[in-house]
Amino acid sequence: MNDTSDDRTALEAVGLGKRYRRGWALRDCTFRIPAGAVCGMVGPNGAGKSTLLGLAAQLLTPTEGTVTVFGRPLDAPGQRARVAFVAQDKPLYQRFTVAEMLRLGRELNPGWNQTAAQRIVDQGELPGDARLGSLSGGQRTRVALALALGKQPDLLILDEPMSDMDPLARHQLMGTLMSEAATNGTTLLMSSHILAELDGTIDHLLLVDAGRIRLAGEVDEILAAHRLVSGADPGEGAADPTAGHTVVETRRIGRQLTALIRPEGELSGALEVSRPTLEELLLSYLRSPQAPTLFTDSARAGHDAAVAA
């Protein structure tokens, strides 16, 4: 294992797996998220997203494999200050006031930035003396995010961050997160099952499904590797126009054939070719559990080490 600090890799998992009493929640995960990425983690409910995030935040201990943050294990000295995590249920002390909650952040984090945290709270017009228990779900999310951003982490891990926010607050906070990424180079890793929430915001993608990683890498590269093709269905026995390409999903409606493929060479002239949107691509993969996985170069574990060697 690589024990030296690595500033180009925000998160790296090698053979990561987690087993609960009811079985494996996550198995055989090997991937890398480069520093500075805004990475979206998508997948159906129960796919293992929260488990993977919990492992990354070191709230869970892996059953097998390792996970490192900036090249070092999370329990190495000083590493805890580099990672912030907001759990899905946004746990906060109900009896604390907003101001006390921020004070908790200040007291427990050496690099605390009160201005950054206060700005987020003020944006939501939350009074400092309001008890957390009296706030709405969206307001609590705001406080939880303020606490995470006040820590000034290098890697910010968010589990379903905006699920209980109204559209305005969602837009505002996503803007805040993006500006955080822009100014401090913070790496963001956030899970969501709302694809529209991620489109346009993320530049890296992790598709988690049934405890495995199925797609990992830059959104642009993944999209560029795929084509949506459609044409007349040649029917039984005739030559398949998608033959020779990696087929993710084929659908037949009447005499029409539609497929998401990864082209390997020239495409048949009989097909109408277009580029899939992120949403079309993800839905295709989720509908086809047998589709082959795809990792772009930057998402492969040991990527930088290989380049350096």
Partner 1 sequence: MIEYRIDRRSGVATYLQIVHQTKQALRLGLLQPGDKLPTAREVVEATAINPNTVLKAYRELDREGLVEPRPGLGTFVRRSLARAEAGADGPLRAELVAWVDRAQRAGLEHEDVAALVASVLEQRFVTGVAAPKREIEGNS
Partner 2 sequence: MSVASLIEQVATDEGPKLRPGRLHGLAWLVWRQNRFLLWVVLAGVVAVGCWLWYEHSAVVAATERIHQAGCSYDSDTWAASGQSCWPLLEDVVNPTGAFTGELQPALAAVPALVGMFVGVPLFSQEFERGTHRLLWSQSVSRTRWLAFRFGAAAALVLVASTALAALASWFWHTDVHTELGAFDPPFQGVTYLVLGIVPVATALFGLVLGVLVGLLVRRTLPAVGITAALMLAVECGMYQLRPYLYPQVYGVQPIRPNFDTFMQPTDAWLVSNGMILPNGTKVANDGACINQRGCRQVSQVYGYYHPVSHFWPIQLIESGILLCLTAAVVAFVFHRVRRVA
Binding stretches for partner 2 (CB under 8 A): 54, 57, 59-61, 75, 80-81, 83-87, 89, 91-94, 96, 100, 103-105, 107-111, 144, 147-148, 151
Using CB under 8 A as the binding rule, whether residue 182 contacts partner 1 is answered as: yes
Q: How far apart are CA 282 and CA 276, in angstroms?
A: 9
Q: Which is nearer to partner 1, 72 or 226 (CB)?
A: 226
Q: How far apart are CA 71 and CA 63, in angstroms?
A: 20
Q: How far is the CB of 90 from partner 2 (least distance, A)?
A: 9
DSSP code, position 240: P
Using CB under 8 A as the binding rule, whether residue 113 contacts partner 1 is answered as: no
Judged by beta carbon distances under 5 to 8 A according to partner kind, the member of partner 1, partner 2, none in contact with residue 93 is: partner 2
Q: How far apart are CA 37 and CA 39, in angstroms?
A: 6
Q: Among residues 11, 13, 25, 38, which is the contact residue for partner 1, using CB under 8 A?
A: 38
Q: How far apart are CA 303 and CA 9, in angstroms?
A: 9
Q: How far apart are CA 105 and CA 150, in angstroms?
A: 7
Judged by beta carbon distances under 5 to 8 A according to partner kind, the member of partner 2, partner 1, none in contact with residue 109 is: partner 2
Q: How far apart are CA 67 and CA 61, in angstroms?
A: 10
Judged by beta carbon distances under 5 to 8 A according to partner kind, the member of partner 2, partner 1, none in contact with residue 203 is: partner 1
Q: Which residues contact 190 (CB under 8 A, 6 or more apart)?
A: 39, 40, 41, 157, 158, 159, 160, 161, 177, 198, 202
Cα-flanking dihedrals φ and ψ of residue 247, to 5°? Answer: -95, 125
Using CB under 8 A as the binding rule, whether residue 200 contacts partner 1 is answered as: yes
Q: Which is nearer to partner 2, 112 or 285 (CB)?
A: 112
Judged by beta carbon distances under 5 to 8 A according to partner kind, the member of partner 2, partner 1, none in contact with residue 183 is: partner 1
Q: Using CB under 8 A, which residues numbered 139 to 168 contact partner 1? A: none
Q: Which is nearer to partner 1, 36 or 71 (CB)?
A: 36
Q: How far apart are CA 281 and CA 81, in angstroms?
A: 36
3-class state of residue 175 by DSSP = helix
Q: How far is the CB of 221 from partner 1 (least distance, A)?
A: 10
Q: Which is nearer to partner 1, 109 or 298 (CB)?
A: 298
Q: Which is nearer to partner 2, 103 or 193 (CB)?
A: 103
Q: Among residues 136, 179, 256, 293, which is the contact residue for partner 1, using CB under 8 A?
A: 179
Q: How far apart are CA 146 and CA 133, in angstroms?
A: 17
Q: Which is nearer to partner 1, 159 or 197 (CB)?
A: 197
Q: Which is nearer to partner 1, 32 or 204 (CB)?
A: 204
3-class state of residue 194 by DSSP = coil
Q: How far apart are CA 159 and CA 188, in angstroms?
A: 11
Judged by beta carbon distances under 5 to 8 A according to partner kind, the member of partner 2, partner 1, none in contact with residue 102 is: none
3-class state of residue 163 by DSSP = coil
